[in-house]
Amino acid sequence: MLADIYNGETWKNFLDTSGIPYFTPETADFHLGIMINLDWFQPFESSVYSCGAIYGVICNLPREIRFKKENMLTLGLLPGPNEVKLHKINHYLSPIVDELLEFWNGIEIPAADKNIRLALICCSNDIPAARKLCGHISASVSCHRCYKKANSCGNKLNFGGFDDMKVWFVERDLEEHRQSAMGWRLCKSEEERKRHVSSTHVQWSELL
């Protein structure tokens, strides 16, 4: 039974760079697992104006207090009036990733007499936001784990047809995925990027 993130394989098997378990009872209050989220909201009632927020949730906290306002980490605000374009989200992610890397190495908190470390272990969003955070270019193509694509029925797309999963499920090569994303960065023009995305279904995300 999976009742919380603590029951999942990621939490149980996530390793430090030295190959030892990252989340243990002994490190529960200074090895923190962060869930990142991106969402947009309308700050005004009288006009259409969309702002975005990137925020983090500390998964070590019990579920009943994990999502309280005082426990949320505001990582970035994305100004309006429109949602940030798919590839421009990287400009906002870059400083966040820099700080996450600092916390992965450890930040001394003298008042607490602790070295606090963070690991980004989960992205939890709706599909459009997940595309922008993780570099997937369409809701109709597969994620980074497999090659599954949406079925086309007229003008509508759906992800039905899982009965033959043993036939179509081929685990994606994660190194291939990363190399395809890095290839997007090397494109010299918008047209070249469009061709690259059309063939690989991947673009670069700062989270990589």
**Domain identity same for 160 and 112:** no
Where in the sequence is the domain holding 113, given as residue range(s)?
Answer: 1-124
Bridge partners of 40?
52
**Domain identity same for 101 and 157:** no
Q: Are strands 51-58 and 31-41 parallel, antiparallel or unpaired?
A: antiparallel
DSSP 3-state of 100: helix
- Res 143: pLDDT: 63
**Domain identity same for 144 and 107:** no
CA dihedral 137, 143, 149, 154 (to 10 degrees): -50
Q: Is residue 130 part of a domain?
A: no
**Domain identity same for 161 and 117:** no
Contact present, 125 and 133 (Cβ < 8 Å): yes
Q: Is residue 129 part of a domain?
A: no
Q: Is residue 74 part of a domain?
A: yes
Question: What value does the mean pLDDT of the chain take?
Answer: 87
Q: Is residue 150 part of a domain?
A: yes
Q: Where are the alpha helices (DSSP H) in the chain?
A: 9-13, 63-66, 89-105, 127-134, 165-168, 174-186, 190-200
Last residue of a domain, one of 79, 102, 124: 124
**Domain identity same for 149 and 205:** yes
Q: Where are the alpha helices (DSSP H) in 14-169?
A: 63-66, 89-105, 127-134, 165-168
- Res 12: pLDDT: 93
Higher-pLDDT residue of 164 and 13 is 13
Give the separation between CA 118 and CA 22, rounded to whole angstroms.
10
The H or E element containing residue 119 is strand 114-123
- Res 45: pLDDT: 86
**Domain identity same for 13 and 53:** yes
- Res 192: pLDDT: 94
- Res 56: pLDDT: 95
**Domain identity same for 99 and 155:** no
- Res 174: pLDDT: 83
- Res 130: pLDDT: 81
- Res 203: pLDDT: 86
- Cβ contacts of 151 within 8 Å, gap of 6 or more: 157, 158, 159, 160, 161
Statement: residue 99 has pLDDT above 90: yes
Give the separation between CA 126 and CA 131, rounded to whole angstroms.
9
Domain tally for the chain? 2
Give the separation between CA 197 and CA 140, rounded to whole angstroms.
13
